[in-house]
Structure 1
Amino acid sequence: MVLCHVPRWSVRLWACPGWWRPTSTLRALVRPRGPGCPGGASGPLACRMFSKVSSCPPEVMLTQERYPVQRLPFSVVSEEDLAAFEHMVPGRVVTDPEELEVSNVDWLRTARGCSKVLLRPRTSEEVSRILRYCHERNLAVTPQGGNTGLVGGSVPVFDEIILSTALMNQVTSFNSVSGILTCQAGCVLEGLSRYVQEQDFVMPLDLGAKGSCHIGGNVATNAGGLRFLRYGSLRGTVLGLEVVLADGTVLDCLTSLRKDNTGYDLKQLFIGSEGTLGVITAVSILCPPRPKAVNVAFLGCPGFAEVLQTFSTCRGMLGEVLSAFEFMDAECMQLVQQHLHLASPVQESAFYLLVETSGSSTGHDAEKLGCFLEQVLGSGLVTDGTVATDESKAQALWALRERITEALSRDGYVYKYDVSLPVERLYDLVPDLRARLGSQARHVVGYGHLGDGNLHLNVTVDAFSTALLDTLEPYVYAWTAGQRGSISAEHGLGFRKRDALGYSKPPHAVQLMQQLKALLDPKGILNPYKMLPTQA
């Protein structure tokens, strides 16, 4: 492991149990960053997951019971359908209710379907056969990757067939000159990160859910994440896609060219489409070279005005080596301390910042970071801070930010909002909502990616309440629209936000989206009840 001293900056470290000893010389780490269940079914199709022997926690209410949604007139899976699926993917048709429970419930445990069959294809040809059959039979399908989504987009609403990409997990090729990776959609992001790091590259995407999420799901939701500031959107780094359409047609646009100015860029239709237009089966993505020097600093700020000034100073002084600028409020820190027993490395502050630099020169980057830290400390913008001294401590710094979602989930039921706002108004919604909700909420917290204007607003309560939901929505959406923001910055719309699309898109844009859906999926079998507003 290589350690480089940050010159010219000395600051008292807040000593916390489980952290490193106080020291006046701070170091920077070169770190690799890595209507319900239709009745009448029998045999394996019986909806047994709701019986007394089921291990599904009773507190996870069925989506169809929690929300006002009506089942569309899709066919019901029959024994003949099961036999056909077994012929297509032998040994990979799951009907055991105990196995299905995990795939029927979303990661937040707030949405629950009652699918009675899950299919595990290994190839795009198998996906094609499945969708062709479902299209002919008018059977609805929910594509599912790692099931780490936060808006109910990756689980059934009713009894849709779950099409899992978990076995489509092969790397097809990697070009060590261009850095272009081609792989199947079911590859786990963390596994891909390790694979390209061995070739001295990194994935352009990094998420807290990287140990579970699939690259196909990342692309289907246009996931943002922790490296967006440095490497931008997947719309820029994804070079090509292979997609299976609703009728089973395989659309092979899996190019590895960085420049291709011929016709419409069809892949952009499917990036961010949340599985409603086609099932992504393979991805070609551009991976940047692995940085030779990575530094991680964790800072405390007295107020959000100082957070904004620190960000402006950071961009000006760190420039091209700045790779992440994350913020979290004091209540976020309290929750990760309370529920996850993580210790803060700095003194108690109103806001906390995580700053990461990534570059090619250890000395150059350390010097720039040292000058920046000296400036913000000397001006009073930052009151306390630390720089990681080894890899484990750098990971611990990142854990404080990446595990906020986990801490929130342990605090009670969570109402989650993921909005884009002008950076100068980014935090205003949090105190506004605290005043609006008062004692109705346990916590109202804000954190996110300051560098790209993305606020994660979360409200925790003891249990789900329709009355509280009515207090939050559409208020949060209307407030965001009033600032000309977006109601979804990176999580997508899924099931929960589909009827709020009009707050971010004009009527003609929504109408065009519905027309595209009707063109590519005329029967509406792909991920129904998701993304697009309910139509009369």
Structure 2
Amino acid sequence: MLRSLLIGNSKNTTTVFKISPKRFSSQLTADKYAVKRGDFAKLSDEDLSHFHSILNPNQMITDTNDLIAFNQDWMKKYTGQSQLVLKPKTTEQVSKILAYCNERKLAVVPQGGNTGLVGGSVPVFDEIVISTASMNKIRSFDESSGIFKVDAGVILEAADTFLAEKGHIFPLDLGAKGSCFVGGNVATNAGGLRLLRYGSLHGSVLGLEVVLADGTVMDSMHSLRKDNTGYDLKQLFIGSEGSLGIITGVSILCPARPKSVNIAFLGLESYEMVQKCFQTARSDLCEILSAFEFMDHDSQLLAAKSLKTTHPLCQEDETGVDSVPEYPFYVLLETSGSTKEHDDEKLENFLEKVMGDETVVDGTVSQDETQLRTLWTWREGIAEASQQFGGVYKYDVSLPLDSMYSLVEAVQERLKKLNLSSTEDESKPVYEAVGYGHIGDGNLHLNVAVREYNKEVEKALEPFVYEFVSKHHGSISAEHGLGFQKKNYIGYSKSEVEIRMIKDIKHHYDPKGILNPYKYI
């Protein structure tokens, strides 16, 4: 049935910045994971005086209470001990800071919006946080070519809002768009909701401005779409997670903004039908298909408890917030194009086809912009909903399409077998394991919602999840990166030769290892 949506301390170390673990709501990362501090210098009064010569007082944060937000990740899973946050406004200031830190061997952590999910943007020990939050200027936009140049600290949503006024769109969309920074997106090679349509940042980023560990500035912001002169050096920094340099500027190609957007929210009886629906969509919708997201039933139950609104596929008389139809899987499909009549006709024909052969058993289509946004919340809201019971273990992996959901089923079975999982019994640490993600690029998000972070649960999941992914020839990180969480598991996706080459590159550009230590590899 298809219907319209119902809206429902040393001698020389400064002591005034001493951080007490009691100030944080979770155990320090260094203690929790028994990490040994690297051979780095400790912050001194002389260091602070030097930074004062580069920055204004309001560009330095030393207050214990203010430091907490920079020391803790979004999920409250990782907690560092930084005594200083620096907020440079220019690339020149970043260069001077890094040159000094490299000379003194002071470890640093580049930080954008701090929306990362693998502990890559927060300190482990007392690393200096270099925040790009004050580097937030839009540098230029060429309406003819679509080339957009921005500071690294521009918020993704602000970038897209600017482009919307010019008839263009930023080729990346994330649930965290209201707080994540463009530089951080590039540093982690974020994939997002519309990679199916616009591809990865490896293709859309034209040039970067990056400050290396010794303060050297690499500037390729002038790059054209076609440039075959030598190595494409910018690719080294896309997805490098601040381990090779700090991105301060981004030049990116932005396509014309679609004039017609439709959303269909569908109910399906099996994962096999999800695959069949995608094959048909790719064939029949072709150039207007911009997103194809899938969600399992339990993920929608979690979202319903968090959103407290009626599910899109509920009948009119079903008003309870927990009333989620018993379809095993759901699909959110988006089309975007330039002609509404053309797009509407293609979508209508597609829906008639997949409902006629019972690939899809239920569905609704957005009727206006408000309904479109409402439908997206049932996909984008899962990540936050997974945290509502205490915490969440997140696994962002790539797998062949036919084995993608098998990982979720394997994890659910393992947790039950180990007597760790129950939605009813609050004595069990795991509330639920759910799966959702981007069918178009084989990216599964496995979320294990827990009542508390628990070592027993962690041991049950790791390396089990990574072994499964490796066995099925997938990748242990599709878009969140490696950060702190996955640094020890890179061998499940990369060969010994590849890992050695990565380490060689890291050593070449950051021989003292000051950039984001304890992460990545």
Q: Same fold (TM over 0.5)?
A: yes
Aligned equivalent of 1:333: 300
Structure 2 distance, partners of 1:384, 1:514, is 51
Is 2:55 the partner of 1:89?
yes
Alpha-carbon distance, 1:46 to partner = 2.3
Is 2:510 the partner of 1:518?
no
SS of the residue 2:79 aligns to: coil
Structure 2 distance, partners of 1:363, 1:90, is 56
Aligned equivalent of 2:83: 116
Q: 1:435 aligns with which of 396, 402, 413?
A: 413
Checking the alignment, whether the CA contact within 8 Å between 2:21 and 2:27 is kept in structure 1 is: no
Structure 1 distance, partners of 2:84, 2:499, is 32
Letter in 1 for 2:100: Y
Structure 2 distance, partners of 1:39, 1:452, is 54
Checking the alignment, whether the CA contact within 8 Å between 2:17 and 2:64 is kept in structure 1 is: no
Q: 2:2 aligns with which of 8, 11, 30?
A: 11
Alpha-carbon distance, 1:12 to partner = 4.5
Alpha-carbon distance, 1:11 to partner = 2.6
Structure 1 distance, partners of 2:184, 2:229, is 27
Is 2:459 the partner of 1:470?
yes
Structure 2 distance, partners of 1:424, 1:412, is 32
Checking the alignment, whether the CA contact within 8 Å between 1:180 and 1:256 is kept in structure 2 is: no
Shift of the 231–39 alpha-carbon distance from structure 1 to 2, 3 Å rule, reads farther
- 1:479-490 matches, within 5 Å, as 479-490=468-479
Structure 1 distance, partners of 2:174, 2:292, is 14
Alpha-carbon distance, 1:415 to partner = 1.1
Aligned CA RMSD, in angstroms, stands at: 1.4
Letter in 2 for 1:466: K
Letter in 1 for 2:462: E
Alpha-carbon distance, 1:50 to partner = 3.7
Structure 2 distance, partners of 1:176, 1:297, is 31
Is 2:43 the partner of 1:65?
no
Is 2:176 the partner of 1:209?
yes
SS of the residue 1:325 aligns to: strand
Aligned equivalent of 2:320: none
Aligned equivalent of 1:387: 365
Q: 1:506 aligns with which of 471, 495, 505?
A: 495
Shift of the 399–38 alpha-carbon distance from structure 1 to 2, 3 Å rule, reads farther
Alpha-carbon distance, 1:13 to partner = 5.7
Checking the alignment, whether the CA contact within 8 Å between 1:13 and 1:346 is kept in structure 2 is: no
Checking the alignment, whether the CA contact within 8 Å between 1:45 and 1:79 is kept in structure 2 is: no
Checking the alignment, whether the CA contact within 8 Å between 1:418 and 1:457 is kept in structure 2 is: yes
Aligned equivalent of 1:263: 230
Aligned equivalent of 1:279: 246
Is 2:410 the partner of 1:410?
no
Structure 2 distance, partners of 1:365, 1:42, is 63
- 1:360-371 matches, within 5 Å, as 360-371=338-349
- 1:221-232 matches, within 5 Å, as 221-232=188-199
Aligned equivalent of 2:71: 104
Structure 2 distance, partners of 1:191, 1:317, is 34
Alpha-carbon distance, 1:43 to partner = 4.6
Q: Relative to structure 2, which stretch is displaced further, 151-160 or 340-349? A: 340-349
Give the TM-score normalised by the residue count of structure 1: 0.91
SS of the residue 1:240 aligns to: strand
Structure 2 distance, partners of 1:180, 1:319, is 26
Q: 2:114 aligns with which of 125, 147, 167?
A: 147
Aligned equivalent of 1:161: 128
Aligned equivalent of 1:422: 400
Structure 1 distance, partners of 2:11, 2:372, is 54
Shift of the 282–311 alpha-carbon distance from structure 1 to 2, 3 Å rule, reads same
Alpha-carbon distance, 1:464 to partner = 1.7
Letter in 1 for 2:278: F
Shift of the 334–247 alpha-carbon distance from structure 1 to 2, 3 Å rule, reads same
SS of the residue 2:141 aligns to: strand
SS of the residue 1:431 aligns to: helix
Q: Relative to structure 2, which stretch is displaced further, 465-474 or 398-407? A: 465-474
Letter in 2 for 1:501: I
Q: 1:219 aligns with which of 183, 186, 197?
A: 186
Structure 1 distance, partners of 2:371, 2:402, is 31
Aligned equivalent of 1:497: 486
Deviations 1:88-108 (A, max 9, x none): 111211100111100100001
SS of the residue 2:48 aligns to: helix
Letter in 1 for 2:16: P
Letter in 2 for 1:277: L
Deviations 1:245-281 (A, max 9, x none): 0000011111241001001000000000000000000
Letter in 2 for 1:395: R
Q: Say how many residue pairs are matched.
A: 498
Q: Give ranges in structure 2 of 5+ residues lacking alignment.
A: 315-324, 421-429
Letter in 2 for 1:511: R
- 1:292-307 matches, within 5 Å, as 292-307=259-274
Structure 2 distance, partners of 1:41, 1:246, is 23
Aligned equivalent of 1:5: none
Alpha-carbon distance, 1:403 to partner = 1.2
Checking the alignment, whether the CA contact within 8 Å between 2:399 and 2:443 is kept in structure 1 is: yes
Shift of the 42–520 alpha-carbon distance from structure 1 to 2, 3 Å rule, reads closer
Aligned equivalent of 2:255: 288
Deviations 1:472-529 (A, max 9, x none): 1111101100110000000000000001000000001001100100000000000001
Aligned equivalent of 2:435: 446
Structure 2 distance, partners of 1:345, 1:460, is 23
Structure 2 distance, partners of 1:14, 1:314, is 21
Alpha-carbon distance, 1:340 to partner = 2.4
Letter in 2 for 1:63: T
Shift of the 288–161 alpha-carbon distance from structure 1 to 2, 3 Å rule, reads same
Deviations 1:111-149 (A, max 9, x none): 000100000000100000000000011000000000000
Letter in 2 for 1:362: K
State the identity as a percent.
Answer: 53
Letter in 2 for 1:478: E
Structure 1 distance, partners of 2:347, 2:11, is 64
